[in-house]
Each structure stands twice: as structure tokens, then as C-alpha cells.
């Protein structure tokens, strides 16, 4: 009996929808529909566990990838235009999970003259084999927009249930491997005991620790306590730098390798008197006055390749490290922040360390915050000194404070402008995530803060992502992520989230973030101490 089948026997029968022993896509589409139909986290977790348990070891990595709402191939070359006209759905299911993965492997590998037509034919052939439910789910997979509320953390819960393990064991392995699907493969092929041998490996990026939010100093200190570390909050590109010998690799927040694009960072870490090191920090550019340059310029710089011999062409990047995960054979993930800070001081020159203060009173925190904002920084991050590195989680060990109330929200639709804005899509529909379902809940609208350049850009983006429209509104899928500033929030019966933003205005779009990074309704509501309607079931 296979590892997957043996686990299935402890949870439930595999079912009659197997095709030559392999998982059919119809099973995953049905599971996704079941997950989306319930608000209960326990029910979602059970659906996921049952489906994972029914998979074979050779396909479990794909099953977990698909359940997480994405494809193994990060880029397929398939655009919205390719799916505007798809064949009639197949009357009966026939596709296996491996069939779909093989098809997208072929599609992603097409390049050169004639590739566009070949890709269209391959997409048509795949969708012709899919039923109506499978076609709808495949569209979501292609654009990383499966709406089922099964984020990666929930899939980890289901994976733990499927194998009868504590969730913490699966979370840690996924953190260190940088992959929940890879963790599933390891358990299915080598047994659950293999998780114990998983450790931090230099050169293998781990998921970064994320910061929670607080509206003021008192709320932040409620989470972290005193004494605390207070780091200046840098508005740059999150990077994780690994060095082994003379080889240096630089990864983004999403674990993409951008080594070739950041030669200054490679050089800075390559010059350190160490053999192995893993650093967490921010790539930032400072202007002649010492103040940080705009995020958009930094993002543009790191999005393109740069000839190392040419220098930074006007936008030089600097590395500011705020954490140290490993140095010369010593792993520090489980050490308290206070210890990691001390090791950083001995391993790194001062210019590579984020501006940091150790504080003992709320007055000191406020002073650091005020000075940071005056110097042109975003704010501060207050950190719990005894906390380990909670990789891959938005943990209360780190709490960010900003001078204005800002949230990352999803733009789900836009209305056509009038007057001077006629011809542009202008008024944005803003949504936060429901923490129970993972779905998007509307909080309000805004047309403030949009320059002519942004209006032109967003109109092009919305029309390219259009999913449907009414007389005055274009709805988009996938949504865009935008950073919104507001003066506060208030209770509202007008919007389904139960809260509304006061004087919301656009600060910038966030192409570096996905819908999974959008703030939740309860985080927004906490700003105005507004009770959130409903609640998590189970």
C-alpha cells in the first residue's frame, strides 16, 4: 500500500473518482468548491486532509500545490486573451492532476517564432478535455486566483491532519524547505520521521517572518512588552541573502532569485569575514541627502537586470540587515532576538545593520518613531526581545507602526470617471480579506490620490483583467493590490465588511504583493475598535 493510500485508510475511503490510481482534477475542483462553500476552518481543514490522504506519493506535491491555489510553473505565458474563448466543456472528467501539470510544462516551455499560436493550441487542447467545473477551476489556477479561502497556512493544517502530525512540525519543515508541497513530498516518500532531519540549509531560502500591525505605541507594546528593540521601518525590497564560501545568492520575499540584479548586495556580503551566513534585510537606496528614495524607483531597479560592471546607474542599492539566521555553522532561528542581535553586532559592520534602538519605556518608543518619520522613513517595527524567528508567519513578535493609518487592500472593480476623468477608470472598489474564508470583503471606494499617470496605467490594467462589467463599472479578476491611507475607520451597514474607511486615498500600487498579502477585515476594524460581524466557525 502506498504512503498516500495508507494515510487515506485512517481518514476515509479514497472514493471512486481515481483514474488508474491517480488523482483526477475533478476531485480537486470539487474539494475546492466544498472549501469555498463553508466558513468553518475545521471543515476546510478536513476537506483538504481527505483529498491529500487520497493522493499517491508521486503526485502529492502537485495535489498540495493545486490545493494551495497555484501551479507548479510560476510563469506559463498564458494571458487573459488566451482564455477569452475556450472550447465547449467535456461531458465527463478525464484529466488527472499529472495530465494538467504535464500540459502546463509544455505550455510554459514554448518560446520563439510561432510560440504564441502553439501556446493557444495547447491551451485549447487542455481546456477541451476539462468539464465546466474543471475549466472554471483551471482559470483560477492559471491566474493564481482560486477563491476558496484555502491559503497556504490552512493547507499546512490539512497536511498535518492527513499524516497525523502536529501542525507545528509541518509548519517548521515548510518554513525551512520554503515549500509546503516539498514538505508533503518528503513525508509521502521518506516517511514522517524525515521531518526531524529538516534544518536550515545555506542556499535554500526560508519563508520570511512578517510583522503584525498596531495603530499606536500602546497597542504595539501590548504585544511585544518592554524592554523591546525598535527598528526603523525601511521602505525597500525585502531580501534574504545566503552566502556559502564565495557564492552569494539573493532572494526576494517570494523566494525569487534576484542575485544578478543586485551586484552591490552581492559584493557587500561577499566581503564579510565569514564562510557561511544567512541574512534577512532590506535593499534600499538613499538619496544625496541621506533620505530613502521612493519605493517605486527601488522596485523598478530590482525588477531589471544590471551589468555589474556598469554600477547602479544612478540608483545604488544598500543592504540593511535586521536579522541573522545563520553564521559559520550556527543556526539562530530558535535563538531569542536579543541573542541574534548580539551575534549580528559581532558578525556585521555597523553600516549593514538597520538603525536600531533598545528601549525600556513607551516614551523612548515614541521618540524613536518620531525621529524615524522625520528622517523620511515609513515608521518603526517594535520587536519582542525574547521571540525566535517565526519564519513564514505574521507574528506578534514584530509589530509595525506607521505615522498614518495605511492598509494593503485589493481593488476588485473600478468605475468610469466623468468630467476631467472621462475615459479613465477612476473610482476604486476596495476590499479586505475575510480571515475565516480568505475571500474578499468590500470596505469602500476612493478616487483620491490618483495622478493622470496612475489613472492611465490603472485603466490599462483593469481592462486587461476585466472579468465582467455593468453600465458604469468594470470588475477585475485577479484584483490589484493597493496601499491605502485613511484618517480612520467607522462602523457601516453600507458595506458587507461592517466597516468603512474614512477619507481613503491611494498611496501606491503594490505589484510586489498578492491578494494573500491583503490586510484582513479584523485588522482594519481594529483601528476604530469596530466589532466585526460574524466570526470564525470551529
Mean pLDDT over each residue of the chain, to the nearest integer = 87
Q: What would the mean pLDDT of 476-499 be, rounded to a whole number?
A: 84
| pLDDT digits 0-9 by tens, 157-213 | 999 999 999 998 998 999 899 899 999 999 999 999 999 999 999 999 998 998 988
Rounded average pLDDT over 277-281: 98
Among 26-35, 78-87, 231-240, whose mean pLDDT is lowest? Answer: 78-87
pLDDT at position 438:
80
Show the CA angle centred on residue 111, arms to residues 106 and 113, nearest 5°. Answer: 130
For the chain, what percent of residues have pLDDT higher than 90? Answer: 60
Name which of 35-39, 54-58, 141-145, 439-443 the model is least confident about. Answer: 141-145
Residue 120 pLDDT more than 60?
yes
Spatial CB neighbours of 312, under 8 Å, sequence gap ≥ 6: 264, 285, 301, 306
Helix, coil or strand: residue 291: coil
- pLDDT value for 291: 84
Look at residue 337 and tell me whether its pLDDT is greater than 50: yes
Helix axes 180-190, 60-67, angle to 10 degrees: 150
10-24, 43-57, 131-145, 395-409: least confident range: 10-24
pLDDT at 306 over 90: no
| pLDDT at residue 410 is higher than 90 | yes
- Between 361 and 84, whose confidence is greater? 361
**Catalytic residue ranges:** 233
Q: For 378-397, how does the pLDDT look when each residue is reduced to its tens digit (9 = 90+)?
A: 899 999 999 999 876 777 89
Domains, the chain, with CATH or none: 1-199 (1.10.3260.10), 217-401 (3.30.470.30), 405-527 (2.40.50.140)
Short-list 207, 220, 230, CA closest to 153: 207
Residue 1 reports pLDDT greater than 70:
no
Comparing 292 with 405, the larger pLDDT belongs to 292
* pLDDT value for 81: 65
pLDDT band at 303 (very low <50, low <70, confident <90, very high): confident
Q: Do 519 and 438 form a contact (C-beta atoms < 8 A)? A: no
For 337, what's the count of Cα atoms within 13 Å in the CB-facing half-sphere? 23
Note the Cα 346 to chain centre separation in Å: 32
pLDDT > 90? residue 11? no
The answer on pLDDT for 520 being more than 60 is yes
The residue that leads in pLDDT, 215 or 109, is 109
Q: Which has more pLDDT, 294 or 448?
A: 448
Cα–Cα separations (whole angstroms), residue 390 to 32, 368, 398, 481: 29, 25, 9, 25
> Which of the four pLDDT bands, split at 50, 70 and 90, describes residue 274?
very high
Is residue 266 predicted with pLDDT exceeding 60? yes
- DSSP per-residue letters across 376-399: T--EEEEEETT----TTSEEEEEE
Contacts for 292 with CB less than 8 Å, ≥ 6 apart: 234, 235, 236, 284, 285, 286, 376, 377
Grid coordinates given for 191:
516517511
Amino acid at each position: 500500500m502506498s504512503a498516500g493510500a495508507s494515510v487515506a485508510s485512517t481518514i476515509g475511503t479514497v472514493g471512486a473518482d481515481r483514474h488508474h490510481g491517480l488523482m483526477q482534477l475533478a476531485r480537486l475542483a470539487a474539494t475546492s468548491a466544498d472549501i469555498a462553500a463553508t466558513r468553518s476552518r475545521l471543515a476546510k481543514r478536513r476537506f483538504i486532509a481527505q483529498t491529500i490522504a487520497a493522493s499517491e506519493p508521486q503526485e502529492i506535491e502537485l495535489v498540495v500545490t493545486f490545493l494551495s491555489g497555484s501551479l507548479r510553473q510560476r510563469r506559463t505565458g498564458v494571458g487573459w486573451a488566451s482564455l477569452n474563448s475556450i472550447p465547449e466543456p467535456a461531458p465527463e472528467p478525464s484529466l488527472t492532476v499529472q495530465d494538467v501539470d504535464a500540459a502546463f510544462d509544455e505550455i510554459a516551455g514554448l518560446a520563439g517564432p510561432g510560440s504564441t499560436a502553439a501556446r493557444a493550441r495547447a491551451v485549447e487542447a487542455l481546456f477541451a478535455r476539462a468539464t465546466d467545473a474543471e475549466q472554471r477551476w483551471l482559470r483560477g489556477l492559471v491566474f493564481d486566483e482560486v477563491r476558496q479561502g484555502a491559503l497556504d497556512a490552512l493547507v499546512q493544517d490539512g497536511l498535518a491532519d492527513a499524516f497525523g502530525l502536529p501542525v507545528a512540525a509541518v509548519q517548521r519543515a515548510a518554513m525551512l524547505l520554503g515549500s509546503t508541497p516539498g514538505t508533503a513530498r518528503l513525508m509521502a516518500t521518506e516517511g514522517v520521521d524525515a521531518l526531524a532531519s529538516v534544518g536550515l540549509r545555506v542556499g535554500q531560502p526560508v519563508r520570511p517572518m512578517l510583522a503584525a500591525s498596531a495603530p499606536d505605541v500602546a497597542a504595539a507594546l501590548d504585544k511585544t512588552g518592554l524592554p523591546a528593540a525598535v527598528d526603523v521601518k525601511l521602505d525597500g525590497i525585502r531580501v534574504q541573502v545566503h552566502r556559502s564560501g564565495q557564492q552569494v545568492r539573493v532572494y526576494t520575499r517570494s523566494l525569487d532569485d534576484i542575485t544578478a540584479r543586485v551586484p552591490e548586495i552581492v559584493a557587500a556580503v561577499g566581503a564579510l569575514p565569514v564562510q557561511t551566513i544567512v541574512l534577512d534585510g532590506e535593499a534600499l537606496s538613499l538619496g544625496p541627502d541621506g533620505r530613502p528614495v521612493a519605493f517605486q524607483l527601488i522596485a523598478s531597479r530590482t525588477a531589471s537586470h544590471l551589468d555589474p560592471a556598469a554600477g547602479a546607474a544612478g540608483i545604488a542599492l544598500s543592504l540593511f540587515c535586521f536579522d541573522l539566521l545563520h553564521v559559520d555553522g550556527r543556526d539562530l532561528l530558535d535563538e531569542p532576538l536579543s541573542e541574534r542581535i548580539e551575534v549580528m553586532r559581532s558578525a556585521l559592520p555597523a553600516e549593514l545593520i538597520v538603525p536600531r534602538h533598545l528601549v525600556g519605556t513607551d516614551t523612548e518608543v515614541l521618540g524613536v518613531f518620531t525621529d524615524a518619520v522625520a528622517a523620511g522613513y515609513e515608521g518603526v517595527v517594535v520587536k519582542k526581545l525574547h521571540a525566535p524567528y517565526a519564519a513564514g508567519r505574521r507574528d506578534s513578535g514584530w509589530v509595525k507602526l506607521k505615522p498614518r493609518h495605511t492598509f494593503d487592500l485589493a481593488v476588485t472593480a473600478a468605475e468610469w470617471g466623468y468630467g476631467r476623468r472621462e475615459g479613465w477608470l477612476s473610482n476604486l472598489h476596495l476590499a479586505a480579506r475575510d480571515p475565516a474564508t480568505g475571500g474578499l470583503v468590500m470596505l469602500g471606494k476612493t478616487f483620491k490620490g490618483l495622478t493622470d499617470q496612475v489613472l492611465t496605467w490603472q485603466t490599462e490594467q483593469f481592462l486587461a483583467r476585466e472579468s465582467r462589467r455593468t453600465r458604469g463599472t468594470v470588475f477585475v479578476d485577479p484584483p490589484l493590490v493597493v496601499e491605502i491611507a485613511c484618517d480612520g475607520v467607522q462602523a457601516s451597514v453600507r458595506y458587507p465588511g461592517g466597516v468603512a474607511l474614512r477619507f481613503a486615498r491611494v498611496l501606491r500600487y503594490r505589484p510586489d504583493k498578492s491578494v494573500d498579502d491583503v490586510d484582513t477585515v479584523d485588522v482594519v476594524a481594529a483601528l476604530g475598535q469596530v466589532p466585526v460581524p460574524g466570526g470564525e466557525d470551529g
